[in-house]
Amino acid sequence: MKVYIDPFTYEDPNEAVREFAKEIDISCVKIEEVIGAGKSRGWAQQLLQPLPLALPRGSPGGATLKVGYTEGQRRDFLSEASIMGQFDHPNIIHLEGVVTKSRPVMIITEFMENCALDSFLRLNDGQFTVIQLVGMLRGIAAGMKYLSEMNYVHRDLAARNILVNSNLVCKVSDFGLSRFLEDDPADPTYTSSLGGKIPIRWTAPEAIAYRKFTSASDVWSYGIVMWEVMSYGERPYWDMSNQDVINAVEQDYRLPPPMDCPTALHQLMLDCWVRDRNLRPKFAQIVNTLDKLIRNAASLKVIA
């Protein structure tokens, strides 16, 4: 089994990019439509359209580094490509390549028609069967099982970082970008902490308190993603402040089952939120549990 190599262990970050990402000639790419821009300096997401036969998998999507970036921002931006380029799994966003030899610097990925899972669910509130929702969760768990076997810890697993294609296939994305964003006081999702920014509502207690990020802390986050999916994109812990969330979880409060959530799924969420990280299920176990539930659909009819 291949093991993930941290691009920051390379003395020259460009060497990591060359090793793990294919360089794409800028003449093969045309920017068709801007679909979003990061609020912090140096970031923008764009929809990219290749010229005919230039790239596989149809229209790719991607991100560009804004003009005026620092060398550090360029390194951090391209580290995402160096990470993504090491992964090959149907539930992990696929890297097509990078543009580094001309401006703007680009990361080009496969295009996901339905964008981020949280907003997709909110737009389609109540429109899917339980089996469809469990299928989405199974795909995310399969992608995370692959990452854990690669010894990669995501640290920021959340519905906003899952992309959805036209076939409702969910793919894990965002391998580093969020950790390099500058502070945005208007967005309380990430809270500054010693050594970086933490998405409190999705993060395991030991990771918040001691910066202990492991596959087990990713499992905790996965439980929150399950809750997001079954609630059609509700905000975890609703309007509680981040500090109130920390205090509540410390006092063993756990999110209640979303409306019409099968008991078996809420129990799996609770298993992911066990305080002792060694007692949480592994992603392989989560995949097996979801497979059993999909095979035995009657078990999903018992509502929590």
Contact 82, 18 (CB under 8 A): no
All structural domains of the chain, each given as residue ranges with its CATH number in brackets, are: 9-110 (3.30.200.20), 115-300 (1.10.510.10)
Residue 30 confidence class, pLDDT cut points 50, 70, 90? confident
Q: Which two tokens mark 38?
A: 């990061």
SS3 content of the chain, % helix, strand, coil (to 5): 40, 15, 40
Q: 230 burial class (0-12, 13-18, 19+ CB within 10 angstroms)?
A: buried
Q: What is the pLDDT of residues 138-150, one digit of tens each?
A: 999 999 999 999 9
Q: What is the pLDDT of residues 197-223, one digit of tens each?
A: 799 999 999 999 999 999 999 999 999
Q: What values do phi and psi take at 303, rounded to 5?
A: -95, 140
For the chain, the residue count is 304
To the question of pTM greater than 0.75 for the whole model, the response is: yes
Q: Residue 45: pLDDT above 50?
A: no
Give the catalytic positions in this structure: 156
